[in-house]
Structure 1
Amino acid sequence: MTGDRRRWGRGRAVGLLRSEQSEQQASYVELFFDLVMVFALNRLVAFAVQGAGSADATIRWASVGRVLLLFVPLIWTWTITAYITARFDPKASGTQSSILLTAFAMLVMGTALTGAFGGGGRGRVSANEILGLLAAFLTAVLLWRIYFHRAGVVLGDAVAAARDPAEVGRFAGSAHLVMILGIVATSVGHGIVQTHPTGQSYPPWLAMILGGPACFLLGRAALERAVFARVSPRRWVGIAVLLAAGVPLLPAPPLVAATAATAVLFGIAVADSRRAAGRPPEAPHPADGEATWLWRRHRPAT
């Protein structure tokens, strides 16, 4: 082990290696990558079903060969990523960046599967589709980042420390329902972006593209209240900006609206990181007695 570390020490990756005291349980970024892998495998199954349902035996066997050929790079990518997270600290920014870039490549691979071999698909992914995928991927990463920035990590501790754990747990549960609704609406919005990236946006489309992230932020604000008995002003600012952007973005293409929503989420994530930089992790302060949707100020927001 010591010699192995000296060998790695000759390169720049030594600071990313796992220490002997590091936790071995899966990190949140690893779970995020696994979700992308599930998506890619789901697309591979859909591709397989297209050929397997053919009445021509030649097409059926060709489909089996193609599926195996496409499965190899997917499983190889997953294997290499699993090795990276086992060898390097998944909490290090360099490791996380590598995993997220690999996840985006996996997302593109999964999307392009229907056009693989030029059969029955779109042939190739267009530039607008790539931009739409990038916006969707960045949105997913930012929603994940905003959720887990402290409140999502210490939720269990907050519930355990509350005078009435059931009350705080119920309120946190309702907050998650609102966030899930926002995630579903955001997913529908990005589905619209993939099929209609250009042209004019319609109010129902913007309700999904912009309203989805706003709904998520509302639920995330409620979760923050349950865990810390306060809500950061940047949550309200983000919601207000997303809702106010609806009118000026009506003549804009859906892809532009999705990019604007991603930019708002990025601003919130950056503000969260800057606020926490150089400070010790905030301890949970459950909203005992005030875990409700009535937004009375209990303690100063940060």
Structure 2
Amino acid sequence: MAAGRGARLLRPPTSSGRATFLELFFDLAFVVALTRVSQRFAGLGDDTGWTLVLGFGRTLLLFLALWLIWSHTAWITSRYEPEQPVIQAVVVGTMFAGLIMAVTLPRALEERALPFTAAYLMVMVVRPLVVAAALHGHPRRMVPIRLAVWALASAPLWLAGALGPDDLRLPLWVAAIAVDYVAWALGWPLPWLGASNVGRWRIAGRHLADRYQQMFLIALGESILVIGVVFSGADYSVGRAAAFAVAFATSALLWRIYFYCTGLLLNDALGRVAMPARLGAASERTHLLIVLSVLSTAVGYELVIDQPFGQPRPSWLLFVVGGPMLFLVARVRLEYEIFGRVSRSHLIGLAALLLFTPALAHWAPMAGLSVVAGALALVALLDAFWKWGRPTEGPASPIGGRTSDGGDSEA
């Protein structure tokens, strides 16, 4: 009987594959969070050498913590029925914790470390226990229990970093986030129980694809917000207007390259494979890189619009060129996940950026952004040219198999 009550929490096969309004509402907290991440990255514009590397790593750490909260939530609503009151309460509670993390993020490695940690651990420890209790005696309850046990294992590192000396905070938190990510990659193994076979979980694949696409659009929206805010707040000049236009064109090209054939077929690919969770796990890591690349590119927009013809600063290339290069690398990975191959156009775009990077270190920032836009335009044009007149290609993912067999080692 307990297992029967817990089964009500599971997503039925007839459940809609679209994200609910509650999930879209939940994403609003992460709009704030991504804005704060972008602002922290932008603050590194004048740094060089080890200071730049350290600052980038500190912000990346905070982004990874936020991403883990968001991606776990996407998986929860893909495995459980989001219309159930318990799942709705979990999503709303996570949204509040995510908002706390967002507002404390600018000083999360300084005096606001404790509230940031408390909000993170509230989600990582308490949320899976709530889900496990709601599942009653259902076999699937072991999955959230695994999550809670591993979160408790990393919690002392998080708390020691928040409460201990400032100079130990970063290494302790790096160790803590490493534990959380490695645990997920290994399937949260426990003594005598072994690891959970995440690849065989039963999920709503199309729903998970929808959530990844939405997060990409949120990141892209953040880049548009940066373009508008920076340009509206700066003194008008022809150079800044040109940088504003090129930045917008770059964001439009990122959208085009992501969705052209590959990103558009992510839903179909996750809906067809035998084990959508295996493809979903691979795609989750790919979209982590994609979102990070868009945020980094947006920081490049801010720097260039502010000083389009200022003195060349090699450190700016980390954002102006590094962001788009990371995007192309992640897009190559996504294409392989869906089609089992790699397009020459993306490799050509990467080669072009690598070829120009040494020279861009000595050119004005506007030149760097223009070269990036040109390389992305070349990728988009080559994609369209090589597919012109050819029949529409369907997904043929090498990850997760082709036909659904309904297998699920975790129920």
Above 0.5 in TM-score?
A: yes
**Paired residues of 1:199 and 1:252 also in contact (CA < 8 A):** no
Which whole-Å CA distance do the structure 2 matches of 1:187 and 1:112 have between them? 13
Provide closer, same or farther for how the CA distance between residues 108 and 192 of structure 1 changes in structure 2, counting only shifts above 3 A: closer
Provide closer, same or farther for how the CA distance between residues 137 and 109 of structure 1 changes in structure 2, counting only shifts above 3 A: closer
- When normalised by structure 1's length, the TM-score is 0.55
What is the aligned partner in structure 2 of residue 226 from structure 1? 337
The residue correspondences of 1:87-106 to structure 2 (distance < 5 A) are none
- 1:157 counterpart = 2:263: no
- 1:236 counterpart = 2:350: no
Provide closer, same or farther for how the CA distance between residues 232 and 194 of structure 1 changes in structure 2, counting only shifts above 3 A: same
Provide closer, same or farther for how the CA distance between residues 200 and 111 of structure 1 changes in structure 2, counting only shifts above 3 A: closer
**Paired residues of 2:227 and 2:302 also in contact (CA < 8 A):** no
**CA-to-partner distance for each residue in 1:33-72, whole Å, 9 max, x for gaps?**
xxxxx9xxx9xxxxxxxxxxxxxxxxxxxxxxxxxxxxxx
Which whole-Å CA distance do the structure 2 matches of 1:196 and 1:215 have between them? 24
What is the aligned partner in structure 2 of residue 272 from structure 1? 383
State the AA in 2 paired with 1:131: A
Which whole-Å CA distance do the structure 1 matches of 2:291 and 2:375 have between them? 19
What is the Cα deviation at residue 113 of structure 1?
Answer: 4.9
**CA-to-partner distance for each residue in 1:93-148, whole Å, 9 max, x for gaps?**
xxxxxxxxxxxxx999876655xxxxxx73xx210111100110000000000001
Provide closer, same or farther for how the CA distance between residues 113 and 189 of structure 1 changes in structure 2, counting only shifts above 3 A: closer
**Paired residues of 2:231 and 2:240 also in contact (CA < 8 A):** no
The residue correspondences of 1:73-112 to structure 2 (distance < 5 A) are none
What is the aligned partner in structure 1 of residue 280 from structure 2? 169
The residue correspondences of 1:44-59 to structure 2 (distance < 5 A) are none
What is the aligned partner in structure 1 of residue 302 from structure 2? 191
- When normalised by structure 2's length, the TM-score is 0.41
Counterpart secondary structure, 2:239: helix
State the AA in 2 paired with 1:138: A
- 1:147 counterpart = 2:262: no
What is the aligned partner in structure 2 of residue 201 from structure 1? 312
**Paired residues of 2:335 and 2:341 also in contact (CA < 8 A):** yes
**CA-to-partner distance for each residue in 1:163-200, whole Å, 9 max, x for gaps?**
22111111111111111111111111111101121133
What is the aligned partner in structure 1 of residue 358 from structure 2? 247
**Which of residues 186, 200, 217 in structure 1 aligns to 2:328?**
217
What is the aligned partner in structure 1 of residue 293 from structure 2? 182
Provide closer, same or farther for how the CA distance between residues 225 and 201 of structure 1 changes in structure 2, counting only shifts above 3 A: same
What is the aligned partner in structure 1 of residue 66 from structure 2? none
Which whole-Å CA distance do the structure 2 matches of 1:108 and 1:188 have between them? 9
Which whole-Å CA distance do the structure 2 matches of 1:200 and 1:258 have between them? 14
Ranges in structure 1 where 5+ consecutive residues have no aligned partner: 1-37, 43-105, 115-120, 291-302
Q: Which has the higher helix share?
A: 2
Which whole-Å CA distance do the structure 2 matches of 1:202 and 1:113 have between them? 24
**Paired residues of 2:231 and 2:244 also in contact (CA < 8 A):** no
The residue correspondences of 1:124-135 to structure 2 (distance < 5 A) are 125-135=236-246
Which whole-Å CA distance do the structure 2 matches of 1:233 and 1:113 have between them? 38
Identity %: 33
What is the aligned partner in structure 1 of residue 370 from structure 2? 259
Provide closer, same or farther for how the CA distance between residues 110 and 288 of structure 1 changes in structure 2, counting only shifts above 3 A: closer
Counterpart secondary structure, 1:153: helix
Which whole-Å CA distance do the structure 1 matches of 2:232 and 2:306 have between them? 17
Which whole-Å CA distance do the structure 2 matches of 1:185 and 1:107 have between them? 11
Counterpart secondary structure, 1:258: helix
Counterpart secondary structure, 2:359: coil
Aligned-pair Cα RMSD in Å: 2.8
State the AA in 1 paired with 2:373: T
